[in-house]
Amino acid sequence: MGSLRLEHITKRYSDVTAVDDMNLDIEHGEFISLVGPSGCGKSTTLEMIGGLTMPSEGTVAIDGNDVTDLPPKDRDLAMVFQNIALFPHMTVFENISYGLRIQGADDDEIQRRVDDAVETLKLDGMLERMPSELSGGQRQRVAIGRAIVRDPEVFLMDEPLANLDAKLRVHMRTELQRIQRKLDVTTIYVTHDQEEAMTMSDRVAIINDGVLQQIDPPLTCYSEPNNQFVAGFIGSPSMNFIEGHIDGDRFDAEGVAIDTARLDLDDGPVTLGIRPEDIYLESDDPAPEMVGGIAAAVDVIEPIGEKMFVYLVPEARAEMDAIADGEADGQDHLLMSIDPDADIEEGQVVDVTFDRSNIHLFDAASGDALVHGIETESAPTP
């Protein structure tokens, strides 16, 4: 088994709190990604799980056993880091088997485990090669093989794909998922790349400023973010935010008015969130799901193949002449993602609408989510 529990884990460095009161429960066989911006505390959390860093407060338990004070070698963990750190003077076989030899395993056991790892990682014919004779992806697989042969309860991976080129990263991402499923080993994976976290994980733990913001399946984090930080961090391109306020039964912002009568929200400032793919040209919208018509000027168009990103500047029509003349000054944009064959041009004034089922409202002060999906008076009753 390889269940893991963090209870009130905190790490302080002088007057800096790197991780603040972290609580996590991870089941055997889960693939959990820790994701967040640089400096958020995700690597520090991984190091405390591995015993490389001691927590200031809290406990780390593996299979119900408190391992907080145990050294890394006694935690039945295996680690793979961004720096592959193979021994350059050793062959692939020697690198993979090094940990077993240090532990005193006999030759037959070493050979059996290395053979299993080689089959799993498709390293056949490479055992006598030196690291300098391997590609980046092959070296990374050797580093993973060195972890696999230890038959650990938990894998810890700290941005293991960060130094690979984009194509190889996508390939290795798939390989890691295949290996993890085959071995059924609990895996905790640190990355700053939210796309990696979304595509690889059973659950994603989003961290900001040392505080756990949300831990849920990837699509839950995407469609039901706990707060505005998660909403803006998960998803590429990021969610659009519009500052406004609830006044009676309406959300109002400059150029935007949406019926909120059925939401029972208190009057006051709120932030509306809408993803680029949930914004439509009014002429193309699939009514009656649309709300919140906005007049906007097209500032920049970015065709990227299967879709087209359109940067809009929502303003009153009387104020759009400068944008239409190419004189926009970089003010806040509204990003829309549409089909690449859409009939739209830079400088054009367009009307856009929002998919009401994918509108999010956040408390302006705390950033906490208030609503995921707006039901209007005109919407049919379920």
Confidence (pLDDT) at 310: 95
pLDDT of residue 6: 97
Structure tokens at 80: 């793979």
Q: How far apart are the first and last CA of the chain?
A: 44
Q: Whole-model pTM?
A: 0.85
Higher per-residue confidence, 157 vs 84: 157
Q: What mean pLDDT comes out for the span 4-29?
A: 95
Average pLDDT, the chain: 87
Long-range contacts of 339-347 (CB under 8 A, 24+ apart): 339/307, 339/308, 340/303, 340/305, 340/306, 340/307, 340/308, 342/281, 342/284, 342/308, 344/281, 344/298, 344/301, 344/310, 345/298, 345/301, 346/298, 346/299, 346/300, 346/301, 347/297, 347/298, 347/323
Confidence of residue 284 (pLDDT cuts 50, 70, 90): low
CA triplet 270, 273, 279: central angle to 5 degrees?
A: 140
Inter-residue contact 145 to 118 (CB < 8 Å): yes
CA-based nearest residue to 313, from 364, 327, 304, 252: 327
Q: Which range, of 17-21, 36-40, 278-282, 316-320, averages the lowest pLDDT?
A: 316-320
Q: Quick one: average pLDDT of 51-61? A: 96
More confident residue, 369 or 284: 369
Mean pLDDT for the stretch of residues 67-84: 88
Residue 381 has pLDDT above 50, yes or no: no
Tell me what the mean pLDDT of segment 122-144 comes to. 88
263 phi-psi bin (left φ>0, alpha ψ -120 to 50, beta other): alpha
Please report how the helices 166-183 and 136-148 are oriented relative to each other, as an axis angle in degrees rounded to 10: 20
Share of residues in the chain with pLDDT > 90 (%): 53
Residue 287's pLDDT band, with cuts at 50, 70 and 90, is low
Torsion angle, CA of 350/354/360/362, rounded to 10 degrees?
30
pLDDT at 286: 58
How does pLDDT run across 322-338, given as a tens digit for each residue?
555 555 544 578 999 99
Per-residue pLDDT, averaged over 262-289, amounts to 83
Average pLDDT on 55-78 reads: 93
Give residue 85's pLDDT: 80
Q: Are 155 and 145 in contact (CB under 8 A)?
A: no
pLDDT digits (tens, 9 = 90+) for 244-268: 999 888 898 877 888 887 888 889 9
Q: Is residue 160 within 8 Å of residue 169, measured between CB atoms?
A: no
Tokens representing residue 42 in the block:
């995700």
